[in-house]
Structure 1
Amino acid sequence: MNKRLFRASGVAAVAALVWTASASAQLPPDEIGTVTLDEPGPHRAYIIDTQFDNATTGKVVVVDPEEKKMLGMIPTGYLAPSVLSHDDTRLYSADTFWSRGVRGVRTDVLTAWDTQTLEPSWEVEIPTKRANILMERNMLTMSNDDRFVYIYNFTPATSVTVVDTEAQDVASEIDIAGCSLNYPIGDRAFASICGDGSFQQVKIDDDGQEVSRTRTKFFDPNETPMNERAVRDGDMYYFTTLDGDIQPIDVSGEAPKVGERWSLFTDAQREEGWGVGGWQLMAISPALNQMYVLVHPEHADRNWEDPSNTIWAFDLDTHEKVGELKTENYVWSLNATHDDEPLLLGVNIDGGLDVFDLTKMEYMHTVDGISAIPALVLSSH
């Protein structure tokens, strides 16, 4: 290269570097902060993602289902169940961590997340007993007044850890030997479903201590295979058998009262092979007084957890089928919003969120690829 040309090129390169450095120096520094979301509306969805391909760290994906938009993400621990407070200001997760990622010292905490900043507001260490199983809705629940959180433990001995959200501390651990899960009742009680077919109610005081317990005969486990994943409507819980019979139980009184069992299917539909399936397979819209159930044809004893692309709607008073919803995707878990213009939200096996307009009884759209392996979807109470 000509020496004069080389010197000219060198000067140009130095000038460019000086200009670049000068321009970079004028750029504003990056700032790390928190984006505050609007107050949660009745249609905001919280998808609990199991993260099976990386199960030591789960997550909750926050979604606007109408705008098909992800609003944010909450990082949780291993297979962490979550629950929303009734005032929508907090999402609680029961998290498990190990000091070496997949081994070492185990630590369990209940974390309270702010639903606008999606940042932790506080946490409390809890006994290292909480059930490390695929998340169910009644593994982590709240009292009606948001004072107490109930955490299901399985070691395999079963118990419930009661956390006081005002004191931000563990109030008690209540033994529920032979029983499972926690179905909240009012402000100061919860129930569990027991292996002998009974429904056990435990009442607590304002300090979170047990004051009494009763058992109500619920079903015969030797004759009726009951699905424990009930759906709640106020003071009424609705369970389903694996064959599609609905078993209501009223918890408004001093002791639970078992209601009359009714079937989702006619004899003709059963002969055609219709049955129920899915994980959280039922949802209720209080405004429309309707129940929504995942159903499928060719029902057999071993496919009662299979996902489906078909949802039937039932009137809770007449028990009659009043509508049907279809999607191209196979949905595993359902939840209905509780407002006067309700949506039905269904997480599908491909990680999407299927959205239905229940007022019009029609499919709206699918938010594709919003999660990895979703187990449950939550929305405002």
Structure 2
Amino acid sequence: MLLGFTGAAALAADKADSFEPEQVTMESAIDPGANVLVNQASWDGASRIHVFNQDDLKYQGVLSMGLTSQFEISPDGSRVYTLSDYMERYTYGPVHSVVQIFDLETLTPVAEIEVPNKAVKAIGMNQLIEVSADGKRLYVQNATPGTSVTVVDLDSREVVSEVPTPGCYGIVPAASGHRFTTLCGGGTLQTFDVSGEEYAHTTSDKIFDVDEDALYVDAVRTKSDKLVFTSFNGNLYIVDDSGDTPVLERKLKVAEGLDGDWAPGGYGVTTYNAATDTVFMIMHDEAYEGSHKDGSDEIWAYSLADEAIVSRSAAPDLIAISVTQGETPVIYGSNEMEETVDVYRAEGDGFDFEKTASDDHVGWTTSLSVVASP
């Protein structure tokens, strides 16, 4: 027994002498190139934004925030603005709503701004935290449930005003200046000008029927600077917000006359490619009252120039999508069933998309955004 123990000890000593510990290193910056950011908003712990390289879906790293995160990208693509809540005692006591500013290249926080704890507590969605076109103002949706918008000066990194928006929800920044448009419960849109010390606002004529054809808060802006809102029935409302008051230009009935009961579903239900002037929509069949959050069966490509569907591609279970720019668009989507980020690339010259990659780092997510190289 003693000889056996002695031999084992000698063997262990030999292995210890030959052991070479692994060297842990940290990169100073993520790989260069375009990225896609996927928001894993959490109600029970830290929220995360997962960063992937667009080309090969390589996992670049993660940004960490508090509860119920929202995010937006700076116009130049170099900064990530996030909104989340930090609870001192979790089940009761003070709650701090914080805007954090991250450097995308290094995935590091560079500043934070505490905003009034009226900020919306919601799963990740578009139009709840937005940046002005010049990158000077940040708009934060409040809901207590009374609605208002907190305006943050990004130069001084201070809250400069709170704009009451009763009965309205969602923030769509103007193409220039410090104005934003919001959807309102009476079927109207209101535009708020916050460029001066006092805000001003105007109200449109009735644009949509909240009972018969309600609109998603999610909106996209076209290359002609028009807004496109999508209804629960799959209609597209083209709105001109360049003037003092929003004006409905046209309503496009995308699914009219098709076999089946098709409608959008999810949270980020549309995305837009400027080079082809195409709106991409996630659509599901057998739609019913209340299915407006259901995952997709297909991705539809709709040409605004031709006012026609140009392709329909199988794409199951997506609840949010974002598309790259350029003549050959690539679509990234949040898959609610597989809890993955999925990549769809077009085969051939048209818009016949096929899933080409998937990654399961992300968990259940409802918002994402592609970011071009800075």
| TM-score, normalised via structure 2 length | 0.89
Question: 1:78 offset after TM fit, Å?
Answer: 0.8
Q: Equivalent residue for 1:166?
A: 155
- Number of corresponding residues: 365
Separation (CA, whole Å) in 1 of partners of 2:145 and 2:292: 25
User: Contact between 1:40 and 1:115, CA under 8 Å: does it hold in 2?
Assistant: no
| Offset, 1:16 | 5.5
Specify which of 234, 241, 244 is matched with residue 251 of structure 1: 241
| CA displacement at 1:243 relative to structure 2 | 1.5
Contact 1:51 1:373 in 2 (8 A): no
Q: Secondary structure at the match of 2:219?
A: strand
- SS of the counterpart of 2:105? coil
**What is the CA-CA distance between 1:114 and the residue it aligns to?**
0.8
CA RMSD of aligned residues (A): 2.5
- SS of 2:236's partner is strand
Contact in 2 for aligned 1:292/1:313 (Cα 8 Å): yes
**1:14-25 mapped onto 2 (5 Å cutoff):** 17=13
- 1:193 touches 1:199 (CA, 8 Å); kept in 2? yes
8 A Cα contact 1:201 1:213, kept in partner = yes
1:347 & 1:57 partners in 2: Cα distance? 19
Partner secondary structure for residue 339 of structure 2? coil
Match of 2:187 in 1: 197
2:19 maps to 1:38: no
Equivalent residue number for residue 265 of structure 2: 277
CA contact (8 A) 2:69 2:124 kept: yes
2:171 counterpart residue number: 182
After superposition, the C-alpha distances for 1:274-301 in whole angstroms (9 at most, x for unaligned) are 2322221111111111111112222222
Contact 1:352–1:366 (Cα < 8 Å) also in 2: no
Partner secondary structure for residue 259 of structure 1: strand
Q: Where do residues 1-381 of structure 1 align in structure 2 (5 Å cutoff)?
A: 1=1, 5=3, 10=6, 13=9, 17=13, 33=26, 35-41=28-34, 44-51=35-42, 55-185=44-174, 186-205=176-195, 209-217=197-205, 218-234=207-223, 235-267=225-257, 269=258, 272-327=260-315, 329-349=316-336, 350-358=338-346, 360-361=350-351, 362-380=353-371
Deviations 1:169-202 (A, max 9, x none): 1121111122112110123111111112221111
Shift of 1:264: 0.4
CA distance in 2, matches of 1:47, 1:109: 19
Question: Does the 8 A contact of 2:37 with 2:371 survive in 1?
Answer: no
Residue aligned with 2:344, SS: strand
Deviation at 1:20, TM superposition (A): 6.9
Q: Which consecutive residues of structure 2, in runs of 5 or more, have no partner in the other structure?
A: none
AA of the residue aligned to 1:351:
E
Q: Give, in whole Å, the separation in 2 of the partners of 1:314 and 1:27.
A: 56
Taking a change above 3 Å as real, the CA distance of residues 12 and 81 of structure 1, as seen in their structure-2 partners, is closer
Where does structure 1 differ by over 6 angstroms across 4 or more consecutive aligned residues? 19-24, 26-29
C-alpha contact (below 8 Å) 2:266/2:295 kept by paired residues: yes
Deviation per CA, 1:22-50: give whole Å up to 9, x if none: 777x969866x553113452xx1101113
What is the letter of the counterpart of residue 361 of structure 2?
A: I
What per-residue deviation string (whole Å, max 9, x for no partner) do you get for residues 319-340 of structure 1? 111111113x311111111234
CA contact (8 A) 2:42 2:123 kept: no
Give, in angstroms, the shift of residue 10 of structure 1. 4.5
Please list the CA deviations of residues 330-374 of structure 1 after superposition, one character each: whole Å capped at 9, or x if unmatched. Answer: 111111112343211111112112212246422141313131111
Unaligned runs of 5+ in 1: none
Aligned-partner Cα distance in 2 for 1:40–1:198:
41
Q: Give, as a single letter, the amino acid of the residue that structure 1 aligns with 2:115.
A: I
Identity level (%): 24
Of the two, which has the highest radius of gyration?
1
Q: 1:283/1:355 Cα in 2 relative to 1: closer, same or farther (>3 Å)?
A: same
